[in-house]
Structure 1
């Protein structure tokens, strides 16, 4: 027995010794990599780390309890130099993000050793060479981003081994050859961006097997052949870019099977034939660009009346016929570019329905007739070009719109219009060499000779009559537009009192994005303080959004009609620049003056909140998130810095990265939204944001508010998670440790609050409570501890919300009744 015991002890000791040696080797191995990083990128590159120190102290690194690197996130850190070959030593890393630095050299071949990688982003650097074939070992990889580099060579066929891949971005490089057929094996792909390369051959049918794609960008390559007839099989597509290649043939009819598509770009190819009449069935379409092709036939009337369409580009084709009549459904249209075709006839008088129109380019067509008098209601028109047409002005026509004049005017045949709008500097048009001519011409000089008194009186009377008629028509059209239910982006904004501002107004408000005005930077954009130039008093929080167009539009549409006392209110938006070059996109929110929650509950809080105030804040937040979840929205970045406190100490949820529950990451970002320590591990693994993801983050926030501790605490022993630490404290009955020393909280409140928070962070998402349940539990804790005689501010908020919901139901019912009456 003693011998057996000795043998077992020897085996256990040997195993422990080997394990210790193994761990030591791992630590030494990754220390080599960190040291190489400092040699290649500078000693300050890995801030907080020195030879022999634990990696947990380094900024941008996340390590497990044994000190092994699991994540490296150094986005926009100013890193310059090559990626060290010793990166192959990080054998346990699962998350690597070096996006937007100045890294050069090739991607190390040894990167294929990182077999546990789930996320890899090296985009927006200066990397050269080819994509290493060793990436085929990344069997767990969900997201790859090599965009905006100088990579060359072929796309390796081994890429088909990445069976877990959901997002692949290789755009803006110098990749050559054809798309490998093995890409058809990546059936989990939702985002594929191969645009802006030198790829050749035809668009492969292998892509048509990727039926889960939401975003497909393969434009600006050297593809030839036709658009695959089976493109309609990709019926989940929201964005499709096949632009700027050498594609020929007609637009396949099945493209109209893409019922979810919002952006469709087929411009600058050699496509021919007529526009499919069935384009009108694409009910989600917001941007259509078919410019620079050889398309003929007429413009389908259904296309001009799409309720959601914001941008219509059909220039430089061979389109004939007239501009179709516009229905009230055209109110969402912002840009209409029809230059360089063979269109004839007048501008339809029904153009007054396009009340949000900013750009109207009709140059180099065979259009004729007078500008319609209704043209004057286009108050947002900023760019109007009709050179190379036979359009004229009606007698005494002077209308430029009731509120502003177009900034760009090209019209040789309508001098009174140009005179009214003022002489403009030339602006080159995108489709003709004649655009270098003067942007406006002077009015005709008055002829010599006298004029009789009778003639003067007659002219004056006629002018007054015409003016009154114009004013009456304007009032009539405005009233009519107010009565009709608006649709699309413009309609949703108008219905919720969300105002469109000019970029010039935003620049003036923020002093040209002055650093003195910057309030902070969030996951979804930088935020600046500004004062509205319209009234000089309203204070704005201006978010300069990082979002791509579809996400920017989605945030406006989702937040425009959300009215809750615990959610920061969207006041307006602004767009500048050109759609194709990613415009300046600005969201304007109400300014909340009392700082964020971190200021009031963190370890450095000068005036920390008491227990009652903390519970009121948590109840208000829970009600706000419950409201969002009721619309199927999830926030994705819940943390104290994204909770603002009003003058009366009420919380407001801010910095939205809203998506529909169940949606994944966004094209062009390929990153998990959220903040380290608050992100749900299930969301990190699946990239699918759900209400349960928000519940997890809110559970962490509750613990942070209760204890005053950070979600992650670094020490020599590793990283301590607040969720695990709180669970240990509750299990051992150590409630004293959980108590924020700056808060005089009773022990019972600590226990109940901690237990509720911990229940939000359990691994099984189905076992996590809903936000409604959390709010009710928090209210019960508050009433029991503080006293039922003191009504919480959050209860008053509930009453307000219910009143608003009842009002919304009443408005909706009236709208439906009005629609029924109109039909």
Structure 2
């Protein structure tokens, strides 16, 4: 429209100049005032010779009238043409705007499809993680659409598998170039699996601590459930100790740091939460390690509130080798049950052995049963320590850790220490730069 407003004045201005220029040409003289064109009444009209007719004023006047009519027609034609041109330009302008809007919409749809195929920008997703608040007992944990998980895991490809267990698989999920997450895919729609899933989301939406893994979100798709955790780059303690590396990355000081981190996490559950929380499934596979080997507790599907539990109000659950005797035999569950499991993990860190192993004759033996007679013998203890740390540890510290482990795995719960006492006994064994301080 602005273009039309500019075009019309230009045409009109140029046309008026053309007319004025043409009218001022010398070969079109105007009749002189001193020479009247009409004769007097008394005198008969003179005859004009034919050779002068072409140059007479009367003939010139006829020519001027003719040119003025022509100029008017040309001006009208120019105005009409300008109007048509302006209308065409305006139509083109409107068409371009319409085309541009449609192109933007098309590009946006195409970009969304590309994002779904390549991965997801984490900025908006993290914003949902940080600001999304759900009603009910899910607390601050975000519900994540299944399509987002498919895109982030590249349709759950095999090369994105981080680990596998009886519950299902854990996949690496890339939501952007800089941020990764771990997606646990839980199969099965039975009642127990559904209850544990709900329990995990419930607890981790309320428990926030530096030594408890962060749950970023969850998803339910048909009978399959998903839990999205922060990425723990060094996997589980079980994979580090009993995997292909056989604990080679875990120095003595790192092992003590991991033990201290686990004790801090348990102390938070037992002493800081109200009501207290019993993890009930503490084991090396549920202790996750980040890129700096900071340990965090995970898998709260079996966690319950503290207090004396019995067979009548709780189902027997746990993992063989970590389950406390009183819970296994009588169904009695207290915070001391978690302390027993912690003692088993201490033995794993010291010996580099699994809590239950098969012998050559296909018989199973318990790490606690095998180690107990040797833990109190100072001459034998250094010989049963993991060879990876055997030559780098302080013997004095070894004896202290062994003494703590012996107390934690006592058959009688009342003989076991509180986790707070365990925590304070481990702090002096860890260098300050690795967390050996009284921080919470």
Question: Is contact 1:522–1:655 with CA below 8 Å preserved after alignment?
Answer: no
1:506 aligns with 2:154: no
Question: CA 1:619/1:518 → structure 2, altered by over 3 Å: closer, same or farther?
Answer: same
Provide Cα deviations, 1:325-381, integer angstroms capped at 9, x if missing partner: xxxxxxxxxxxxxxxxxxxxxxxxxxxxxxxxxxxxxxxxxxxxxxxxxxxxxxxxx
1:571 aligns with 2:216: yes
Q: Name the structure 2 match of 1:589.
A: 229
1:538 aligns with 2:186: no
1:634 aligns with 2:259: no
SS at match of 1:693: helix
TM-score, normalising length: structure 2: 0.60
Question: CA 1:748/1:536 → structure 2, altered by over 3 Å: closer, same or farther?
Answer: closer
1:697 aligns with 2:341: yes
Question: How far does residue 700 in structure 1 lie from its aligned partner after superposition?
Answer: 0.7
Q: Name the structure 1 match of 2:87.
A: none
Question: How far does residue 704 in structure 1 lie from its aligned partner after superposition?
Answer: 0.9
SS at match of 2:435: helix
SS at match of 2:183: strand
Q: What is the rounded CA distance, in whole Å, between the counterparts of 1:590 and 1:665 in structure 2?
A: 35
1:739 aligns with 2:385: yes
Q: Name the structure 2 match of 1:767.
A: 415
Structure 2 gap ranges (5+):
1-130
Greater RCO structure (CA 8 Å; 6+ sep): 2
**Mapping for residues 487-566 of structure 1, pairs under 5 Å:** 488-490=136-138, 492-493=139-140, 498-522=141-165, 524-532=167-175, 535=176, 537-545=178-186, 548-566=193-211
Question: CA 1:587/1:754 → structure 2, altered by over 3 Å: closer, same or farther?
Answer: same
Q: What is the rounded CA distance, in whole Å, between the counterparts of 1:636 and 1:525 in structure 2?
A: 20
Q: Name the structure 1 match of 2:250.
A: 609
Question: CA 1:706/1:715 → structure 2, altered by over 3 Å: closer, same or farther?
Answer: same
Provide Cα deviations, 1:280-302, integer angstroms capped at 9, x if missing partner: xxxxxxxxxxxxxxxxxxxxxxx
Question: How far does residue 763 in structure 1 lie from its aligned partner after superposition?
Answer: 1.3
SS at match of 1:587: strand
Q: What is the rounded CA distance, in whole Å, between the counterparts of 1:552 and 1:506 in structure 2?
A: 17
Question: How far does residue 716 in structure 1 lie from its aligned partner after superposition?
Answer: 5.0
TM-score, normalising length: structure 1: 0.33
SS at match of 2:364: strand
1:620 aligns with 2:261: yes
Q: What is the rounded CA distance, in whole Å, between the counterparts of 1:703 and 1:528 in structure 2?
A: 30
1:777 aligns with 2:425: yes
Question: CA 1:682/1:522 → structure 2, altered by over 3 Å: closer, same or farther?
Answer: farther
| Root-mean-square deviation (Å) | 3.0
Q: What is the rounded CA distance, in whole Å, between the counterparts of 1:655 and 1:665 in structure 2?
A: 22
Question: CA 1:543/1:601 → structure 2, altered by over 3 Å: closer, same or farther?
Answer: closer
SS at match of 1:655: coil
Q: What is the rounded CA distance, in whole Å, between the counterparts of 2:148 and 2:357 in structure 1?
A: 44
SS at match of 1:775: helix
Q: What is the rounded CA distance, in whole Å, between the counterparts of 2:254 and 2:247 in structure 1?
A: 15
Question: How far does residue 616 in structure 1 lie from its aligned partner after superposition?
Answer: 0.9
Q: What is the rounded CA distance, in whole Å, between the counterparts of 1:652 and 1:747 in structure 2?
A: 27
Q: What is the rounded CA distance, in whole Å, between the counterparts of 1:776 and 1:562 in structure 2?
A: 22
Q: What is the rounded CA distance, in whole Å, between the counterparts of 2:200 and 2:401 in structure 1?
A: 33
Q: What is the rounded CA distance, in whole Å, between the counterparts of 2:286 and 2:157 in structure 1?
A: 22
Question: CA 1:599/1:557 → structure 2, altered by over 3 Å: closer, same or farther?
Answer: closer
Question: CA 1:648/1:536 → structure 2, altered by over 3 Å: closer, same or farther?
Answer: closer
Q: Name the structure 1 match of 2:373.
A: 728
1:711 aligns with 2:355: yes
Question: Is contact 2:357–2:364 with CA below 8 Å preserved after alignment?
Answer: yes
SS at match of 2:417: coil
Question: How far does residue 571 in structure 1 lie from its aligned partner after superposition?
Answer: 0.6
Q: What is the rounded CA distance, in whole Å, between the counterparts of 1:523 and 1:659 in structure 2?
A: 21
Question: CA 1:721/1:792 → structure 2, altered by over 3 Å: closer, same or farther?
Answer: farther
Question: How far does residue 523 in structure 1 lie from its aligned partner after superposition?
Answer: 5.2
Question: Is contact 1:659–1:689 with CA below 8 Å preserved after alignment?
Answer: no
Question: How far does residue 537 in structure 1 lie from its aligned partner after superposition?
Answer: 4.4
Question: How far does residue 756 in structure 1 lie from its aligned partner after superposition?
Answer: 0.8
SS at match of 2:260: helix
Question: Is contact 1:635–1:659 with CA below 8 Å preserved after alignment?
Answer: yes
Structure with the higher strand share, 1 or 2:
1
Residue-pair matches, total: 295
1:750 aligns with 2:398: yes
Question: Is contact 1:524–1:655 with CA below 8 Å preserved after alignment?
Answer: no
Question: Is contact 2:346–2:405 with CA below 8 Å preserved after alignment?
Answer: yes
